[in-house]
Amino acid sequence: MVDEQTPEAGAEQQATPPQFTLQKVYTKDVSFELPNAPEVFQETGQAEVKLNLSQRVNNVADDIFEVVLAVTVTATTNEKTAYLAEVHQAGLFGISGLPDQQLQVALNTLCPHTLFPYASRSITDMVAQGGFPPLVLQPVNFEQVYQQRMSQAQAEAAGDMEVQGNA
C-alpha cells in the first residue's frame, strides 16, 4: 500500500516551532552625573524623580536580535538636577518561527521585560553609590507601553490620511 501524506501533514512537519532564547545580557553604556554636587546635598525637600524609557532593535544575524533598553532617571530638588542616572542594558535574543507581527510584539514586550530588572539594579546601585537614598524602580508593563505606542501610531496615520484626503 502507498503511504499518502495530506498537504497539511507535510506543512506541519516543515514548520518549526517558535523559539525564544536569551543568548547574552550585557551593559552597553552607563552614566551617572551629579551636576550640582556638593551643593545638592544641602538641599531640603523631596526629590522629584522622572523615568524615561526607550529601546532600539538591531538585527545582528538571521534570527538574532540585539535589543537595547535605555533607562534614564532624573532627580530634581528645588528645580536643580540632583542626579542623572542612565543605563543602556542590552541583550542578544534568538527568535525564530514567529510571523512578523508576533516577532515585533516579542521584540517590544518580552525582550525589554527581560532586560528591565538588570537595568533597574544598575540604576539602584548607582544612586546609592552616589550618596542618595535607595531608589527602587517599579516594574513596567511593556505590553501596555507597546499597545499605547501602536494606538498612537494608528491615530497619527489616520490623521495623516484625513489631511491628505482633505487637500
Q: What CATH number should be reported for the domain holding residue 111? A: 3.10.420.10
| Residue 166: predicted pLDDT | 47
pLDDT tens digits, 75-122: 999 889 999 999 999 999 999 999 999 999 999 999 999 999 999 999
State which residues form the domain around 36: 18-133
Number of domains in the chain: 1
> Does some domain include residue 114?
yes
Of 42, 158, 137, 20, the C-alpha closest to 87 is 137
**Rounded (10°) CA dihedral 94, 99, 104, 109:** -70
| Residue 135: predicted pLDDT | 92
> Does some domain include residue 142?
no
> Does some domain include residue 129?
yes
> Does some domain include residue 106?
yes
pLDDT tens digits, 33-92: 999 999 999 988 888 999 999 999 999 999 999 999 999 999 999 889 999 999 999 999
pTM of the model: 0.81
